[in-house]
Structure 1
Amino acid sequence: MKTNIPVYNMSNLRSYKNDGILVSRFEYYAELHKHLHSAHKHDFYHLVLFTKGKGKHQIDFNTFDLAEGQIYFMIPGQVHSWSFDDKPSGYIANFNANYFSSFLLKPDYLEQFSFFSGDPQQQVINLNTETIAKISGIFEEMLKEGSNEIPINDDLVRILLLHLFTEVSRSIQYILPKQVNPYNHTLLKNFQQLIEKNYASLKLPKQYAALLYITPNHLNALCNDFLGQSAGKLIRDRVILEAKRLLINKDLLVAEIARILNFEDQSYFIKFFKKYEGVTPDKFRKLNTIPSYGITAQ
């Protein structure tokens, strides 16, 4: 498939003495990787703490104003870009999806933190003064470990990252409630994972309910109870998100995108997209592919 939306992995970036993680001061990172200002994807986790600077950043077509003390988290596969009105300062950490796999017994450990949910509204957080100081101190400890001449103790860096996640979570109290029924929580996570794998081919709640061996009514009740949304909306939102990601690839025709997403024909895809987004795919493309990234003022 033709693409003009680059997907970067850790090998594209200067490493932090280890192939699985990169930690840097943001001003250095932004200067070294200016190509990352424009729309792109990562195949790794990505987090940034801004301590200075103004501008905007965009995650999956949600735009946020930059602010001092703001931290944002991204999961692999999300479309991301930023623009700055002046030179920013702060810290950045990138780590591979399997960075914690040999360290933690729970492979889904990060999923307990809402800022790794993939929902942009939960991924951008304005920290209070006390938490900013704590998080900045943790970043400094990681940078210190990275500059140590003695071979890096990667477990120490993993612990520091987990400490960072916990401090942020405590400051916003967004960790999943402990009283959630484990069975229902597992069902919901399995449903979300099935959507991620099958959104292009399976678009009806009853199809997912069959894979989960539950009734469509049970699935819908589960989604409404825990997420405040119907099962159908969760599926639809994922299809629309992928359509948006594909539409900013100017090399792809709308008809090609309709085929990729398994719509019956182009006209049905256009009606579907306009119904839920309020604009046609072509209009969305025009509004979202104007080059406006990078540092705009010195």
Structure 2
Amino acid sequence: MTQRKEHGEIMKQAEFIRSTGLEDPLGIGLFVSTDINMIEYDHVKSNFRSDFTSILLIQQGKMQGNLDRKVYHLEANDLLLIPPHTMKKSVAVDKSCIVSGLNFTLDFLVEIGLPATKMELYDYFTSKYSPHWKLSPADAQLMLSHFRQVAARIEDMKEKQPFAREKLQHTFLLFLYELAALSTRYTELINPAVSRKESLVIRFTNLVQAHFKNQRNVQQYAEQLFVTAKYLTETVKEFTGKSAGEIIDDYVVLEAKMLLDNPKLSVAEIAEILHFSDQSFFGKYFKRHTGHSPKAFRALGQ
């Protein structure tokens, strides 16, 4: 049985996967398990928080779980959306309970480049809506097929098949689009106004996505949001597990990697596009966050 985290500590995705006895050789921030008999797992029977978002589909049987001390009674065809940092616990499980589960990290969303214009794909995970959807049998089967498609694309990556990463990213986005479409029929509005803190994190993320190329100072974002830099960093850390500065760096580094994949652009040109003062400063920044110089990173992809 997994040793539980002390109160307030966050369980990382890799640690959670190890606690299940499963393996995640890719470590990309996306993990799927299908057709799981929940009675065989005891790692979720104590309260814990995590740094990843989870989606659980009940295929058969029943189970009872707590999210932030609220009890949810789940049965076949039910879907449960579990935001990161929610206190979660499995209370009771039928012997016949079969589920499929998918979890992903913020890093994975950044890696696939989920654009600001598509943040509505993620809106139904906020506290405005009930996380418990009672799907029709047909819609439950549809979502199960998407779980299995994502799992198949992950297997393609393990086998290093051509364009496996690209296919996985598109398959996962299709999964999110399908959820967003279902949300128009199954979401129940329980809190029209999200909390002040949650709203702040959403607005900060949208600002970063729009301005990270020329604005990397937390203080600048804090001023636009009318809060102190300290409060902004603490709030973002509370909801995402990362500081405000780390979120900004994630977007800058991802963009830099995408630009470095273009052989027509010189490192100096990329530094200029990202509004670094010079190539040397950009190189030091990139190496500090990736462990590679821009030229070395570019060579790895050739």
- TM-score, normalised to structure 1's length? 0.53
Indicate the residue corresponding to 2:55 in structure 1: 47
Indicate the residue corresponding to 1:157 in structure 2: 168
CA drift of 1:55 comes to: 2.5
CA drift of 1:85 comes to: 3.8
Indicate the residue corresponding to 1:84 in structure 2: 92
Q: Which amino acid aligns with 1:99?
A: F
1:1-298 pair list within 5 angstroms: 3-4=6-7, 7-12=10-15, 13=17, 14-19=22-27, 20-25=29-34, 27=36, 31=40, 33-87=41-95, 88-104=97-113, 106=115, 109-119=118-128, 121-148=129-156, 150-151=159-160, 153-173=164-184, 191-193=199-201, 212=225
Q: Secondary structure at the match of 1:98?
A: helix
Q: Secondary structure at the match of 1:76?
A: coil
CA distance in 2, matches of 1:162, 1:213: 33
Gap change, CA 1:17 and 1:211, over 3 Å in 2: same
Q: Which has the higher contact order (CA 8 A, sep 6+)?
A: 1
Tell me if the contact between 2:77 and 2:136 (Cα under 8 Å) persists in the aligned partners.
yes
Indicate the residue corresponding to 1:279 in structure 2: none
CA drift of 1:194 comes to: 8.6
Gap change, CA 1:84 and 1:125, over 3 Å in 2: same
Indicate the residue corresponding to 1:257 in structure 2: none
Tell me if the contact between 2:39 and 2:93 (Cα under 8 Å) persists in the aligned partners.
no
CA distance in 2, matches of 1:6, 1:89: 29
CA drift of 1:21 comes to: 1.6
Q: Which amino acid aligns with 1:90?
A: V
Gap change, CA 1:193 and 1:145, over 3 Å in 2: closer
CA distance in 1, matches of 2:71, 2:88: 10
CA distance in 1, matches of 2:32, 2:90: 19
Gap change, CA 1:126 and 1:110, over 3 Å in 2: farther
CA distance in 1, matches of 2:89, 2:31: 19
Q: Secondary structure at the match of 2:108?
A: coil
Tell me if the contact between 1:37 and 1:82 (Cα under 8 Å) persists in the aligned partners.
yes
Gap change, CA 1:102 and 1:131, over 3 Å in 2: same
Uncovered stretches (5+) of structure 1, i.e. residues with no partner: 177-187, 197-209, 215-237, 243-298
Over the matched positions of the two proteins, sequence identity in percent amounts to 15
- TM-score, normalised to structure 2's length? 0.53
Indicate the residue corresponding to 1:253 in structure 2: none
Q: Secondary structure at the match of 1:173?
A: helix
CA drift of 1:173 comes to: 0.8
